[in-house]
Amino acid sequence: MTSSEERPPDFRRRLFWLAAFLAVLFGIYSAGWFYLADKVRSETDKAVAELNGNGIEADCANLTVSGYPLSFAISCDNLAYQDDTRNVAVSSGSLNAVTRITRILSPFAELRGPLRTTFPGMAPLWIDWDNLQASVKLSWPLPRRVSLAAEGLSGQTDPADGTDPVELFSAGTAAGQLSPNGQDIGYVGSFTDLEIDPDAIDGRVLPPLDGSGDVTLKNGVALIKTQARSLRGQAVDITKLDLSSGTARITISGPVSVSADGLIDANLMIKLNDPKAVAAILGAAIPEQKRQIETGFAGLALLGNEPSMPLKIVKGKASLGFIPLGKIKPVD
């Protein structure tokens, strides 16, 4: 007698009911997947129709939902938003957003350029990239993390009158991450090989720059909810802001706040690496102050190759160590 013939009828019944349960479960999952796909299509069409009915032109061209059964993917050939009343327009290339069933709370998206923008008081912009990806770690009531990373980033003006565009900047990589911490919001970001075109800064010349930052916006969650548009009453804690080119490096850390009347208070520590190299960069960028910069940094070089000094701002009055720097105008 074989082993299969030795199995009791009860075992075969259990196997049958297990298979039936899995089939029902898969059927429920499939019905839910297709219901959600249809809901996404209908709600998107409804939102676009409502916007268009209010004098705004919006589109998610050729919206498709795919990925069944192991993922859920949403794609559009291009995105567009235009509000002529407010003179606001934004458009981009294709959007592909995906969440895998095994990581349902970690969706990610890829957006293709160019991003073209028009806002009041600003020149129209054309921003492009080789690769741009965004990811979210979902949680309740706020996402645990929102990340954005780009490669081959560049920007230029986008004139509508036929004149030549002005190159603004390019960067090898750029990345940023936002994450709530209680009522505060933390930001960590970096960029590499940032080149700013001289035409964008009145002919001033800067070398390629690398930078990174770790900053906490105090009470940032409430600020986002209320959509605050003023810096007054806001505060940030700078863990580190770092800007470098070759051996030249400037690092800043400390708290900064803006009072209700717009006056800045700060207690910062500035650290330099290779002061002579920093002076050379600043002298080329601000030629009208080159002699003063070289004189000041020559004194700093006497403190070593990595001098540190406090930068204090009290009610808008700034001083670097014991050297008064003047008064900073109130901010909006």
pLDDT in tens, 246-275: 999 999 999 999 998 999 999 999 999 998
User: What is the spatial distance between Cα 39 and Cα 176, in angstroms, rounded to a whole number?
Assistant: 32
pTM equals 0.84
Q: Can the peptide bond before residue 324 be classed as cis, meaning omega within 30 degrees of 0?
A: no
pLDDT in tens, 88-122: 999 999 999 999 988 889 999 999 999 999 998 88
Residue 252: strand, helix, or coil:
strand
Contact 108, 136 (CB under 8 A): yes
pLDDT in tens, 159-171: 888 788 889 999 9
pLDDT of residue 1: 45
Tell me what percent of the residues of the chain surpass a pLDDT of 70: 96
pLDDT in tens, 47-64: 888 888 777 899 999 999
pLDDT in tens, 129-177: 999 999 999 988 889 999 999 999 999 999 888 788 889 999 999 999 9
User: What is the spatial distance between Cα 252 and Cα 110, in angstroms, rounded to a whole number?
Assistant: 33
